[in-house]
Structure 1
Amino acid sequence: MPKSNKRKAAQKDGVQKMKKKLLALFMALVMVSGVMAGCGSPKEAEGEAASAQTEGEGQTENKQAEDGQEADEDEPKELTKVTLSAQPALHSLGIYVALDKGWFEEEGLDVDVLTYIAGAPQLEAVASDSWSVGVMGIAAGVTGLVSYDLTCLGFSFWDYSSQKLYVRPDSEIALAGQGQVEGYEGIYGTPELYKGKTILCTKGSLGHLQLLATLDALGLKEDDVNIVHMEIAAAYQAFLAGEGDAVCLWSTFSADGEGEGLIPASSCEAAKLFVPSVILASDKALADEETTQKIMNVIFRGTMWVNENREEAAQYYYDLCIDEGVTCTEEYALSYVQESDAPTVEEYKAMFEGDEFSANLEMAMKYYIACGTYSEADMDKVMNGFDGTMLMNAIEFYEENYAE
């Protein structure tokens, strides 16, 4: 074999021997490492495994919490269902405005509103537990306090601007003119001209109360005239057909009557009868104080909005009348809303401080007692049935959150 080949063979054998030594050394190191790992603490190994498991579980729980939070945000909150009652009148308009603007939902309430043309059917409905809180005129309110054991939570708009006693233009009362009753210059005619007259009127209504105040201003009693009970729509049509000598009208019927040329012989203002509408609540409503307070908060907010946004409120009133089948024009709606008034926040406070609202209730009851509609015992029931705590709370809530 050539030398060069021998050297190459020797070198090759040397390299191979070196590779074998290195391989043996590497295998030995691997075995030692395995033994050392096997000698490690079992608890440490378990701890590492547990830590890995805990970390995995934590990530799973966090993911589940995030998914749950997203689900809560996606799902709407459950609202408390309540049923209110109202009338197509300015004193109730704040409820309809609040309903349209979603203010009840903001307070967590799912509200249904039952609308009544007058107080009598409205009160009949509460007897069957159809509604929990309602707004109505003071005449129906007194009946609610006396006969239905409701509680008066407060008051809304002044309720007298459209309450009037009408006569025909050729009536001797109209022809006599105004200014003949001392202290009540806005009333037409003289006491003698009213005696024996037949007056169409919805008994128990604010129109009836206005008539009693007019008779009192004239120095007359209910027995001095002939009062025929009729619901307002029937009374209006009957009077146009020639029945009766006078008729008590309000709201859009007053506008229609003046459109027909009827003369307002008297009114709440002429007879100096200034009364507010009232907010009544059933025992069921009072049992759920938290929900009823939320209702009062929203009603007061709506009332203040109407008071401060008359032109837009007039459109709401017009739409309400049309929806409820009540005859109305946009012109009348605007004049009615602009003529009516609700106390400002400061005036509300002053009325509470001066006990003015209780005085108004007492004045209304005196007229009813004088004509025999109610008794002195009923007076006590009415006066004890007023609790303005929730209204005062609503005023404070409004000042804190919405007053400018």
Structure 2
Amino acid sequence: MKKKWISMLAAAAMLTGTLAGCAPKPVDSTTAATEAPAGTSKETEAGQEETPAADLPVLKVAVMPFLNSIPIEYMINEGLDVKNGFKIETVYFANGGAMNEALAADQWEVGTLSAAAVNSLAIYGAYCIADIGHSEGGLYTLCKPDSPIAQVKGANPSYPDVYGDAETLKGAVIATNTGTISHLNVIKWLEKLGLTTDDVEIVHMDFPSAYQALMTGNCDVAALNPPTSYQAEAEGMIVTSSLTTLGVPQFDSIIVSNKAFTGKRDVLVNYVKAFFEATDALQADPDMAAQLLLDWYTENGSESSLDACKNEIATRPFVTSEEAKTITIGDSVQVTGEFWVSQELLEESKFPEIAKHVDDTIVKEALGY
């Protein structure tokens, strides 16, 4: 398969103009939670007075235009932050890479990350304190139906639902947002077929650009995350691999800055408590969760549909407070870190830092186990 640099660059340039009018907009840094007016107090059900909202400690919470920020949106909408004795101030980022860059500048204190958490822990000294969502669902590599890759299925009998083989994939141009969990999906896919990243050409693009490159024939494969992965599938693209079909469990995790971890432990306990109150509610009412997700995508400039959001909610469930008690925190980011080292995305000397920056005491205190 020939490289397609010129056409890909042209497509990217065209897409830039197309998307300019619908770029994600920063989320308002003030919460929408119902609260008592500043300087006043209100009574709890037990008859005790709550601290005025204006006097509550503030957490700078990073959000992104993805599913893993929905519990934060729910917490704000339902006032779970104020109820649990703190206030959320949101800080918007387009992706996990941007969050890590901002982490070094102390621009946020707590956020939710998947693959990008490797760098948060290993390089920036942040801590993983809870696993809160199954992030493997909807992580797809896709190709066109007439691609040679789509004509071969089950080349590795241990993975019967995976498409492609060494012959059809060698030299393929694969577009994805490098350094994300979608990149990990590519690495695992190639591995199961006896290939490495040296056998293909991986081109860095944001997910909408990679989707567009696939649809216009300017790449052979796009590795996408929701909602663009579901959109491409709905357009007839073939799902050639996923973390699910490759048997790779992954979690979105709550990540906190080193400064917050050492200085705001009590607030973080309350944050985790409120977070799992949100995931319990979202899992109990998938229709409500899907509508909230659709509204979130629309607000932040992504096209989706209610059916696509229902599919994402079903295939990428949140971790409930009960399930959280059964999970060994940090296993997911450890697996990701091992692959980053193997692909020279992380210095081997930094790998031990991952295990050093996993802490399960906060979630255990928050959930009482």
For Structure 1 versus Structure 2, the TM-score category normalised by the shorter chain is 0.7 to 0.9
Question: More displaced, 118-127 or 206-215?
Answer: 118-127
8 Å CA contact 2:189, 2:241 repeated in 1? yes
Q: How many Å apart are 1:258 and its aligned residue?
A: 1.5
2:286 matches 1:318: no
2:197 matches 1:222: yes
Tell me the equivalent position of 1:162: 138
Tell me the equivalent position of 1:98: 75
8 Å CA contact 1:88, 1:317 repeated in 2? no
Written as runs of structure 1 = structure 2, the 5 A alignment for 1:20-169 is 76=52, 78-137=55-114, 139-169=115-145
Q: How many Å apart are 1:198 and its aligned residue?
A: 1.0
Q: How many Å apart are 1:259 and its aligned residue?
A: 2.4
Written as runs of structure 1 = structure 2, the 5 A alignment for 1:225-264 is 225-264=200-239
Higher helix share: 1
Q: How many Å apart are 1:228 and its aligned residue?
A: 1.0
Write the distance in 1 (CA, Å) between the matches of 2:242 and 2:129: 27
TM-score, normalised by the number of residues in structure 1: 0.75
8 Å CA contact 2:155, 2:193 repeated in 1? no
SS at match of 1:208: helix
SS at match of 2:91: strand
8 Å CA contact 1:322, 1:328 repeated in 2? yes
Q: How many Å apart are 1:366 and its aligned residue?
A: 2.2
Relative distance call for 1:75 and 1:301 in structure 2 (3 A) is: closer
Write the distance in 2 (CA, Å) between the matches of 1:233 and 1:117: 12
Q: How many Å apart are 1:270 and its aligned residue?
A: 1.4
2:357 matches 1:385: yes
Write the distance in 1 (CA, Å) between the matches of 2:101 and 2:351: 21
Write the distance in 2 (CA, Å) between the matches of 1:252 and 1:74: 40
1:13-63 Cα offsets, whole Å, 9 max, x none, are xxxxxxxxxxxxxxxxxxxxxxxxxxxxxxxxxxxxxxxxxxxxxxxxxxx
**How many residues align structurally?**
323
Query: Which AA in structure 2 matches 1:155?
Result: D
8 Å CA contact 1:94, 1:302 repeated in 2? yes
Q: How many Å apart are 1:339 and its aligned residue?
A: 2.0
Write the distance in 1 (CA, Å) between the matches of 2:56 and 2:179: 37
Find 2:326's aligned residue among 325, 328, 350. Answer: 350
Tell me the equivalent position of 2:344: 372
1:249-303 Cα offsets, whole Å, 9 max, x none, are 1111012211222111111111111110111111221212111221121112112
Q: What residue ranges of structure 1 are gaps of 5+ in the alignment?
A: 1-68, 400-404
Q: How many Å apart are 1:381 and its aligned residue?
A: 0.9
8 Å CA contact 1:94, 1:305 repeated in 2? no
Find 1:306's aligned residue among 263, 276, 282. Answer: 282
Relative distance call for 1:75 and 1:160 in structure 2 (3 A) is: closer
Tell me the equivalent position of 1:32: none
Q: What residue ranges of structure 2 are gaps of 5+ in the alignment?
A: 1-40, 43-47
SS at match of 2:174: strand
Query: Which AA in structure 2 matches 1:106?
Result: K
Write the distance in 1 (CA, Å) between the matches of 2:322 and 2:57: 31
Write the distance in 2 (CA, Å) between the matches of 1:350 and 1:111: 28
Q: How many Å apart are 1:117 and its aligned residue?
A: 2.9
1:358-396 Cα offsets, whole Å, 9 max, x none, are 333332222222222223322211111111111122222
SS at match of 2:327: helix
Write the distance in 2 (CA, Å) between the matches of 1:206 and 1:293: 27
Q: Which has the larger radius of gyration?
A: 1
SS at match of 1:185: coil
1:68-108 Cα offsets, whole Å, 9 max, x none, are x99x9799352222210122322221111111001101122
Write the distance in 2 (CA, Å) between the matches of 1:131 and 1:217: 37
Tell me the equivalent position of 2:180: 205
| Identity between Structure 1 and Structure 2 (%) | 26
8 Å CA contact 1:145, 1:385 repeated in 2? yes
Write the distance in 2 (CA, Å) between the matches of 1:73 and 1:365: 46
8 Å CA contact 2:173, 2:203 repeated in 1? yes
Kindly indicate whether structure 1 or structure 2 has the higher relative contact order, using CA contacts under 8 Å at least 6 residues apart.
Answer: 2
SS at match of 1:350: coil
Tell me the equivalent position of 1:277: 252
SS at match of 2:160: coil
SS at match of 2:116: helix
Q: How many Å apart are 1:134 and its aligned residue?
A: 0.5
1:101-144 Cα offsets, whole Å, 9 max, x none, are 0110112222122232311112222222221100122x111121
Q: How many Å apart are 1:340 and its aligned residue?
A: 1.8
Question: More displaced, 215-224 or 111-120?
Answer: 111-120
Relative distance call for 1:102 and 1:384 in structure 2 (3 A) is: same
8 Å CA contact 1:168, 1:174 repeated in 2? yes
Write the distance in 1 (CA, Å) between the matches of 2:52 and 2:325: 37
2:158 matches 1:183: yes
Query: Which AA in structure 1 matches 2:303?
Result: T
